[in-house]
């Protein structure tokens, strides 16, 4: 994309009402614009990151064997009356009345609707196990929305639901979700630590939250420092293997890691050597639940078991905050100049800065680079505006593309351009062709 | 995808309340489930088609230089009060009140919101031309929703908005949209004819609707039969070329083609030879508008022109009904056995029918085919259930994959499988390798 034809409304001033760094940087980098309290428009740069995050979530869910559907945003109140949550949910539930005076609501989650889908079609244990998920906009009418997309009212979430014949099978689904979430966050360049959590309004005997450590996190967390050494890496997982998924759950959850809601100082002291006892702040970016037959009992979601008897299915629900992750990624990856995108989610693979727009040789080298990257499937943001170098560098630093190629007449005399890492600030001179090859290597294309 | 692990709840009975064929077939093929009146869940098969349609729309919009954003579903009533539409829009506008008693609405369209984005950031003619679009769920509280996703209340739409300095520039944007829409529909295997239309509540001096001819269409249309001979084909278009876009507009719109709203019998008789005068029914799948400064006047969206004077920008809006297209595609592509997907939008590239599940050689040949197709980037739906051949064929015919490969012990003795076209019903015997190669060739991979 040529910047002269793009829509990247960066702000020079720091917005006064944005309290946390991700909110400030998303506004300054022209990623979002507030539409109403807690409701945002995603401008071109922000939309690209949102889609990259969404795509990784889709890929990892499908790798785990989970099947995508798409449920609507508006739901009938009747379904929620069946589960008892229509009255219980409180003021965060946005209640709506349509032109025929029917009670509707903007879904904050979909346990009822997915259970209704399940009970409408599935009647035999032979169709299990089954996990359906969707990525759809949700609404929670927060009393005091703040922190930008980190705590918005309209937010994009992946929520998945497993249906299993037995508790044992459902716990395998739980473990499978834990494994797939670990992979998902790591692909985005995030370390998200599974922590024992509280069931909250969804309920649940087994539940873990995934937290990204960041100074601005809303939760206080306590953990054994050994958990931050764990990495998933590129191990191959057979998601059908009960033993493999169980082993990974144990590897990642056997050490102490809890939020303030479930923290127990006595157990912390007993189980964790004092030099490994850490407390920090964390941002919740996902949660998994096993809640047994809570919804299948209330809504009559049963299958015929192998013995011919009707069995209410065991369920769980599993969420990743897709729009919130964009904020969390920035909280974990920035410096005083701006955002530093991990390669996995960057909106453009590289930026090209033309130091002398209008100079024939410089323009030609930029074009060669731009087209050469495109031929490798890499998308560059080419700053072809007639602006000072300083302004171009400041914009690139602010929007945080991980790699910048600087092209100017002086370098070209020596046959080189400059490749700069946003994270380290280190630069290296090389030919245009070498820069293309290096970037292709970095992105594995 | 192996069918034994998929969620494809096909129905044996024809649903009684579905009046049109696309609605019946989408329910029978397990593509959608009604959640409330005019609101649908997209089940796995339907969701895949929806995403393919969405992807084609994205690609063609970006090819035309239009930039994706994402605006929220809920909007503040205040914006609509600025344009005067909050009161004017009528009962189809779903009005919502949040917990703080603020008036909100579920957006049926986004002229106000995009104009607000524009005026917040753009102040110079140098940043024009600009076209922003998004694909987002909309809501229109239809009094009597019907025809499944063809006339739902919650629906997915691509809506794009151009901002230009002059009427002349805005008409080029109009033409560019017309060209990109022609390409979009053709890639989906649809012929959509641009017809002179009525401005309706959005207003507009220039507007065309795109209609797909189908017996069940909601509009009566009148046209010169010569328009159905026009095809866009694979011509290369420079979307920046005013002349090229104008020439295509003229080629596709100079012959008589109007809906009943704008039909003029006298002009029809005067301009079209009687043997070419046709009337039929049509389904609207898109509409483009140029409406000048209607919203920029009302909302103060001005830029500084080259002469230093403030100019209210010329705008247009341009919509494609993404969810509705899935229904329209079926209306135009089906027979008495079920759906017949065009290759461009099919949910799976091919179906594999195993005639003797459990027979080692047959299972092995199916596996080889399945993996061979995957290696080419082709996704097969492999019916590996322990079912009779007749039931497997009926399911494949119903869900309408364009190509089916039938694998059985008798053929394998001769070293062949059978490749069958859903559209023609014709079959051909060939080796597994040849079937993979043929499908790769058909899909151009």
Give every CB contact of residue B375 below 8 A, 6+ residues apart in sequence. Answer: none
Given A9, A67, A68, which is nearest B121 (Cβ)? A9
* Bridge partners, residue A2, by sequence: A382
User: Between A and B, how many residue pairs show a Cβ–Cβ distance under 8 A?
Assistant: 138
Would you say residue A203 has pLDDT above 60? no
In the prediction, which pLDDT does A216 show?
A: 83
| Min Cα separation A126/chain B (Å) | 9
Q: Is the pLDDT of residue A4 over 80?
A: yes
Interface of B with A in 188-227 (CB under 8 A): none
Residue B119 CB neighbour total at 10 angstroms: 18
Contact yes or no for A99 and B143 at CB 8 A: yes
* Cis check: omega of the bond before A129, within 30 degrees of 0: yes
**Subunit contact A40:B74, Cβ cutoff 8 A:** no
pLDDT tens digits, A51-91:
999 999 999 999 999 999 999 999 999 999 999 999 999 99
d(CA A325, CA A234): 22
- Whether the CB of A239 is below 8 Å from some CB of chain B: the reply is no
State how far Cα B26 lies from the chain centre: 15
Interface mutation target, options A2, A4, A5, A7, chain B, most CBs of B under 10 Å: A7
Asked if the C-beta of A164 comes within 8 angstroms of chain B's C-beta atoms, the answer is: no
Query: How close does chain A come to B47, measured CA to CA in Å?
Result: 6
Residues of B in contact with A89 (CB under 8 A): none
**Nearest alpha-carbon partner for A418 in A443, A400, A399, A393:** A393
Residue A199 pLDDT class (50, 70, 90 cuts): low
Residue B114, pLDDT score:
98
**Each residue's pLDDT tens digit, A328-374:** 999 999 999 999 999 999 999 999 999 999 999 999 999 999 999 99
- Yes or no, beta carbons of B73 and A73 under 8 Å apart: yes
By DSSP bridging, strand B334-335 and strand B338-339 are: antiparallel
Which of B33, B36, B44 faces A67 most closely, judged by CB atoms?
Answer: B44
- Chain B residues with CB under 8 Å of A7 CB are 67, 69, 121, 127, 130, 132
Domains, chain A, with CATH or none: 3-339 (3.30.930.10), 350-442 (3.40.50.800)
Residue partners of B232: CB distance under 8 A and separation at least 6: B182, B183, B186, B248
Stretch 318-357 of chain B: residues touching chain A, C-beta under 8 Å: none
pLDDT of residue B202: 53
Mean per-residue pLDDT over chain A, rounded? 95
Q: CB-based contact (8 Å) between A94 and chain B?
A: yes
Chain A residues inside the 8 Å CB shell of B154: 72-74
Helix (H, G, I), strand (E, B) or coil at A17: coil
**Residues 6+ away with beta carbon under 8 Å from A145:** A37, A38, A151, A152, A153
CA-nearest residue to B36 within chain A is A76
Where does the pLDDT of residue A17 fall: very low under 50, low under 70, confident under 90, or very high at 90 and above? confident
Q: What's the pLDDT score for residue A201?
A: 56
Instruction: Band the pLDDT of A215: cuts 50, 70, 90.
Output: confident
- Say what the pLDDT of residue B15 is: 84
Given a contact cutoff of 8 angstroms between Cβ atoms, the answer to whether B422 and B397 are in contact is yes
Q: What percent of chain A has pLDDT over 70?
A: 98
Nearest CA of chain B to the CA of A73: how many Å?
8
Q: Which residues contact A228 (CB under 8 A, 6 or more apart)?
A: A191, A193, A213
Average pLDDT over residues A172-177: 98
Q: Mean pLDDT for each consecutive 10-residue tract of chain B (445 residues)? A: 97 87 97 97 98 98 98 97 94 96 97 98 97 98 93 97 98 98 96 84 75 90 95 93 96 94 93 96 96 94 97 98 97 97 98 97 98 98 96 98 98 98 98 98 97
What pLDDT is recorded for position B16?
A: 81
Q: For B214-264, what is each residue's pLDDT tens digit?
A: 988 888 999 999 999 999 998 999 999 999 999 999 999 999 999 998 999
Give B97 to chain A, closest Cα distance, Å. Answer: 8
The CA distance from B143 to the nearest CA of chain A, in Å, is: 8
Confidence (pLDDT) at B285: 97
């Amino acid at each position: 994309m040529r910047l002269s034809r793009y829509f990247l409304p960066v702000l020079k001033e720091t917005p006064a009402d944005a309290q946390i760094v991700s909110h400030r940087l998303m506004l300054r980098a022209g990623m979002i614009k507030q539409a109403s309290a807690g409701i945002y428009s995603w401008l071109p740069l922000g939309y690209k990151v949102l889609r990259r995050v969404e795509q990784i979530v889709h890929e990892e869910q499908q790798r785990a064997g989970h099947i995508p559907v798409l449920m609507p945003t508006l739901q009938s109140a009747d379904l929620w009356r069946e589960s008892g949550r229509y009255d219980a949910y409180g003021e965060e539930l946005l209640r709506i009345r349509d032109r025929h005076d029917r009670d509707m609501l903007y879904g904050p989650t979909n346990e009822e609707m997915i259970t209704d889908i399940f009970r409408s079609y599935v009647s035999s244990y032979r169709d299990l196990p089954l996990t359906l998920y969707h990525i759809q906009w949700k609404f929670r009418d927060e009393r005091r929305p703040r922190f930008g997309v980190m705590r918005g009212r309209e937010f994009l979430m992946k929520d998945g639901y497993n249906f299993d014949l037995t508790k044992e099978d459902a716990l395998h689904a739980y473990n499978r979700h834990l494994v797939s979430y670990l992979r998902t966050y790591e692909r985005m360049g995030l370390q998200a630590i599974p922590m024992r959590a509280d069931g909250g309004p969804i309920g649940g005997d087994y539940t873990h939250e995934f937290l990204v450590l960041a100074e601005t996190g809303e939760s206080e967390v306590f953990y054994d420092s050994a958990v931050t050494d764990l990495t998933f890496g590129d191990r191959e997982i057979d998601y059908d293997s009960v033993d493999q998924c169980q082993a990974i759950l144990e590897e990642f959850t056997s050490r102490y890691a809890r939020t303030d809601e479930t923290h127990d100082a006595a157990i912390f002291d007993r189980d964790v050597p004092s030099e490994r006892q850490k407390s920090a702040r964390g941002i919740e970016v996902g949660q998994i639940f096993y809640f047994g037959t809570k919804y299948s009992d209330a809504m009559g979601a049963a299958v015929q078991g192998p013995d011919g008897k009707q069995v209410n299915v065991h369920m769980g629900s599993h969420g990743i905050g897709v729009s919130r992750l964009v904020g969390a990624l920035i909280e974990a990856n920035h410096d005083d100049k701006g955002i530093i995108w991990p390669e996995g989610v960057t909106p453009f693979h590289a930026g090209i800065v033309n130091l002398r727009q209008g100079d024939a040789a410089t323009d030609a080298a930029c074009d060669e680079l731009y087209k050469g990257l495109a031929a490798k499937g890499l998308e560059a943001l080419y700053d072809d505006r007639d602006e000072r170098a300083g302004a171009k560098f400041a914009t690139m630093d602010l929007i945080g593309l991980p790699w910048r190629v600087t092209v100017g007449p002086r370098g070209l005399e020596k046959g080189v351009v400059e490749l700069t890492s946003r994270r380290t600030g280190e630069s290296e001179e090389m030919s245009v062709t070498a820069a293309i090859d290096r970037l292709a290597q970095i992105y594995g294309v």
